[in-house]
């Protein structure tokens, strides 16, 4: 073989996605708040974009001749050389005061206010205790290992080991022997654990659920009560609702056992969450469905969304093509095209969302009229075929979007679920079946709860064909216990 250079031709097909298509997909995916921030950022980055004020459209219609005069005035200024295009391009795109009006509407990111969590609450209490420096350090080790639920996340051995590691580091930094600094012991850790578990909220510092409940009962002065004894001596049987077995063991009636279990159920299994620093997540619906004169209408909730338009000042500058060549011309062309495309993409997003929601309202009309039990099965593919769009596009439109309806604020994904067939040949959604199961359980006789097979038989009478294992699966998803666990004595 001899090495050499050669040329050859080849035909092949490649699928390349335009970067703007990726941006359009992102716009569809964005919830309302994210889109709001994105558009405000675009207004800052692109001088050819401007924002329409709520009352600006009416003013523009009434003052059309005045606008033409203003345009002539700007052109005259430009001819007189009062507007330096090069300075405009290089010094922040400030054209004849127009940008100053826009800067008045500049968005400022709200500053997050520092919030206090469980650790801060515990430290505040520890500082009020009569502890020496050594005890305070160990208390900090405990507080640092308490999770947001209020439980101690590791064993006493790990805490002692971590504290002693710090002791050794301190000895090395001060060039002293480790033996000169007394190490922490398990006995000290157990003593400090008692201190931590005496703090507010009751149950904090527990190592498991059983200890957490016992701490709360002890704090309430019920250390010698039946609920305390049940948690301490037969916790496994209590969780399994074995009332008869517990009643024989303690010599009390099953009704008294169940009464004590009801008192235990009122305790907080995660006491630390009271002081959780999790911020409130407010939902702003992207769409609104309202019933007007017996018909359901769909509206976009975009009143606070910046409405974009092309900036007239920069359009005038861009029209004078004689002054622009090379990089300047390319820059202006790119920004102007980008501004036009952004305006069109936002409008396309609005139309797509309205198409999707209008079909959902049409398909799920019985739900809006009668409730969740009448929700029909619906898939992304079905919507995509009706509105003549790709399934992935519908998925992006419905992702993390919410709609305000006469039946509450709901995620768009709520309306999509698989379905089951009825004996009448109609379809019913899985979500509607779950609602029926939940209602049956809520209305049942507590002393004789409905078994999964009994629920199957009841649903069959209404025409719903469903297997017992499917009922069991839906019941688990709803967090409903089995019939034996729900039974009251």
Specify whether the CB–CB gap between 458 and 440 falls below 8 A: yes
Question: For residue 471, what is the domain's CATH number?
Answer: 1.10.10.60
Q: Tell me the C-alpha distance between 311 and 46, whole Å.
A: 10
Same domain? For 85 and 154 the reply is: no
DSSP class of 421: E
pLDDT of residue 104: 41
Could you give the 3-state DSSP secondary structure of residue 287?
A: strand
Note whether residue 107 is domain-resident.
no
Note whether residue 8 is domain-resident.
no
Q: Tell me the C-alpha distance between 163 and 158, whole Å.
A: 9
Q: Tell me the C-alpha distance between 96 and 482, whole Å.
A: 74
Same domain? For 128 and 252 the reply is: yes
The neighbour count for residue 365, using CB atoms within 10 Å, is: 13
Q: Tell me the C-alpha distance between 75 and 83, whole Å.
A: 9
Q: What is the pLDDT of residues 127-168, one digit of tens each?
A: 999 889 889 999 999 999 999 999 999 999 999 998 888 878
247 CB-near residues (< 8 Å, 6+ apart): 253, 254, 256, 257
Note whether residue 351 is domain-resident.
no
Note whether residue 407 is domain-resident.
no
Could you give the angle at the alpha carbon of 464 between the alpha carbons of 459 and 467, nearest 5°?
80
Same domain? For 132 and 246 the reply is: yes
Domain count for the chain: 3
Note whether residue 302 is domain-resident.
no
Copy the structure tokens of residue 317: 């500058």
Name the average pLDDT for the chain: 79
Note whether residue 280 is domain-resident.
no
Q: What is the pLDDT of residues 329-384, one digit of tens each?
A: 777 777 777 888 888 888 888 888 899 999 999 999 989 998 888 888 888 888 98
Same domain? For 153 and 266 the reply is: yes
Range of the domain at 485: 418-489
Q: What is the pLDDT of residues 22-61, one digit of tens each?
A: 566 677 777 777 777 888 888 888 777 777 755 555 554 4
Same domain? For 97 and 137 the reply is: no
Same domain? For 167 and 93 the reply is: no
Same domain? For 265 and 327 the reply is: no
Same domain? For 263 and 125 the reply is: yes
Most confident of 213-222, 344-353, 427-436: 213-222
Specify whether the CB–CB gap between 181 and 167 falls below 8 A: yes
Same domain? For 127 and 251 the reply is: yes
Q: What is the pLDDT of residues 175-188, one digit of tens each?
A: 665 555 678 899 99
Q: What is the pLDDT of residues 88-97, one digit of tens each?
A: 333 333 333 3
Q: Are strands 287-292 and 402-405 parallel, antiparallel or unpaired?
A: parallel
Q: What does the pLDDT average to over 379-404?
A: 87
Residue finishing a domain among 275, 296, 316: 275
Note whether residue 428 is domain-resident.
yes
Same domain? For 321 and 228 the reply is: no
Q: Tell me the C-alpha distance between 322 and 196, whole Å.
A: 78
Copy the structure tokens of residue 385: 């075929």
Note whether residue 296 is domain-resident.
no
Q: Is residue 63 over pLDDT 80?
A: no
């Amino acid at each position: 073989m001899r090495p050499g250079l050669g040329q050859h031709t080849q035909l092949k097909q490649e699928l390349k996605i335009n970067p703007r298509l990726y941006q359009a997909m992102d716009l569809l995916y964005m919830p309302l708040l994210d889109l709001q921030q994105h558009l405000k950022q675009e207004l800052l980055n692109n001088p050819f974009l401007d924002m329409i004020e709520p009352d600006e459209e009416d003013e523009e219609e009434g003052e059309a001749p005045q606008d033409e005069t203003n345009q002539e005035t700007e052109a005259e200024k430009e001819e007189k050389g009062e507007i330096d295009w090069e300075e405009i391009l290089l010094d922040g795109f400030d054209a004849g005061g127009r940008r100053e009006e826009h800067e008045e509407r500049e968005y400022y990111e709200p500053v997050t206010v520092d919030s206090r969590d469980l650790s801060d609450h515990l430290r505040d209490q520890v500082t009020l205790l009569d502890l020496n420096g050594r005890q305070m350090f160990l208390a900090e080790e405990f507080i640092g290992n308490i999770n947001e639920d209020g439980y101690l996340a590791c064993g006493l051995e790990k805490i002692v080991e971590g504290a002693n590691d710090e002791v050794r580091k301190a000895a090395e930094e001060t060039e002293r022997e480790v033996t000169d600094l007394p190490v922490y012991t398990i006995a000290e850790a157990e003593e400090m654990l008692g201190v931590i578990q005496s703090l507010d909220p009751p149950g904090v510092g527990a190592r498991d659920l059983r200890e957490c409940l016992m701490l709360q009962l002890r704090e309430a002065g019920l250390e010698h009560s039946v609920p305390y004894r049940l948690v301490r001596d037969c916790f496994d049987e209590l969780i399994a609702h074995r009332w008869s077995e517990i009643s024989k063991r303690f010599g009390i009636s099953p009704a008294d056992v169940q009464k004590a279990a009801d008192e235990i159920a009122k305790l907080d299994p995660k006491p630390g969450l009271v002081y959780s620093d999790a911020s409130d997540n407010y939902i702003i619906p992207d769409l609104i469905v309202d019933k007007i004169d017996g018909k359901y209408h769909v509206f976009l909730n975009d009143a606070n969304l910046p409405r974009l338009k092309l900036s007239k000042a920069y359009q005038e500058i861009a029209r004078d093509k004689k002054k622009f060549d090379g990089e300047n011309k390319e820059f202006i062309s790119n920004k102007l095209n980008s501004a036009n495309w952004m305006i069109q993409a936002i409008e396309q997003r609005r139309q797509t969302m309205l198409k999707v929601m209008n079909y959902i309202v049409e398909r799920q009309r019985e739900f809006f009229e009668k409730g969740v039990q009448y929700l029909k099965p619906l898939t992304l593919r079905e919507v995509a075929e009706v509105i003549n769009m790709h399934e992935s596009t519908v998925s992006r439109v419905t992702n993390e979007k919410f709609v305000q309806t006469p039946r509450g604020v709901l995620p768009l994904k709520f309306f999509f679920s698989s379905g089951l067939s009825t004996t009448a040949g109609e379809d019913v959604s899985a979500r509607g079946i779950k609602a029926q199961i939940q209602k049956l359980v809520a209305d049942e006789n507590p002393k004789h709860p409905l078994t999964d097979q009994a629920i199957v038989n009841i649903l069959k009478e209404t025409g719903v064909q469903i297997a017992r294992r499917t009922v069991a699966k839906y019941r688990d998803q709803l967090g409903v216990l089995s019939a034996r666990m729900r039974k009251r004595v």
